[in-house]
Amino acid sequence: DAGVIQSPRHEVTEMGQEVTLRCKPISGHDYLFWYRQTMMRGLELLIYFNNNVPIDDSGMPEDRFSAKMPNASFSTLKIQPSEPRDSAVYFCASSPDTAEAFFGQGTRLTVV
Amino acid sequence: AQSVTQLGSHVSVSEGALVLLRCNYSSSVPPYLFWYVQYPNQGLQLLLKYTSAATLVKGINGFEAEFKKSETSFHLTKPSAHMRDAAEYFCAVSGLGRGGADGLTFGKGTHLIIQP
């Protein structure tokens, strides 16, 4: 299995632009998570899905952030409009409903 | 609600010396506990996990951790450090007893430095 695949690995965008981060979870995993990692706040859970349905989005910082999971093999995290304080590494992880989460390589977002 | 505290944002040890990374947790339900490692520009890789079975858990790369309920601790150890162990280490807790069910709450991380 190729593991959790995220794209792009790096994204540099200008303030105000829309940014879309993509994730392909491991096949057969029922849960998908989006995390954000910053120096100041560490790793934060933004949102997670179970069987493609959003379960808890209480970690999404603002309405500028949205996430979708149209099918079991694809999810997106969108920021519109982006701001410099959104600069971070965004991780996607999936889980087979056991006590372990498998992480992707992350997307490093820089908003200038 | 659950939380994790990792004592020491940076830990430095000599190659061949004992590694001890400290983690204390808070959870209102029996926890599942995890240690992850992150190498530069990489994602997080699971080192080991405690899921209410044996309290001493062995993981990959020679690491192990002991769950102590009375101390609410889950410290990570390795008898002899190697240069390749230099990385960021994260302790995490899952509150519902299923790591995938509600997401993980992570500590701030400990940067392990190995001195030659």
**Tens of pLDDT, residues A53-98:** 998 888 898 899 999 999 999 999 999 999 999 999 999 999 887 5
Judged by DSSP in three states, A104 sits in: coil
The tokens describing A34, both together, are 């989006």
Give me the pLDDT at residue A73, please. 96
Element housing A11 (H / E): strand A10-13
Q: Name the nearest CA neighbour of A70 among A52, A83, A57, A58.
A: A52
Query: Does the pLDDT at position B98 exceed 50?
Result: no
- Measured between alpha carbons, how far apart are the two ends of chain A, in Å? 36
Give me the pLDDT at residue B79, please. 97
Q: Name the nearest CA neighbour of A59 among A68, A48, A46, A50.
A: A46
Q: Name the nearest CA neighbour of A106 among A2, A8, A20.
A: A8
How many Cβ atoms from other residues are within 10 Å of residue B68's Cβ? 12
Give me the pLDDT at residue A99, please. 63
| B93: closest chain A residue by CA | A99
Confidence of residue B35 (pLDDT cuts 50, 70, 90): very high
Confidence of residue B2 (pLDDT cuts 50, 70, 90): confident
The shortest CB-CB distance from A98 to any of B99, B102, B104 is to B99
Query: Does the pLDDT at position B97 exceed 50?
Result: no
Confidence of residue A5 (pLDDT cuts 50, 70, 90): very high
pLDDT digits (tens, 9 = 90+) for B24-33: 998 877 788 9
Confidence of residue B102 (pLDDT cuts 50, 70, 90): low
What's the gap in Å between the CA of A31 and the closest CA on chain B? 6
Backbone torsions φ then ψ of B83, nearest 5 degrees: -55, -35
Give me the pLDDT at residue B27, please. 80
pLDDT digits (tens, 9 = 90+) for B73-83: 999 999 999 99
Pick from A31-40, A91-100, B44-53, B104-113: least confident? A91-100
Q: Is the CB of residue B97 less than 8 Å from the CB of residue B32?
A: yes
Q: Is the CB of residue A98 less than 8 Å from the CB of residue B100?
A: yes
Q: What mean pLDDT is reported for chain B? A: 90
Which residues of A sit within 8 Å Cβ distance of B? Answer: 4, 29-31, 33, 42-43, 45, 48, 56, 91, 93, 95-106
Q: Is the CB of residue A48 less than 8 Å from the CB of residue A34?
A: yes
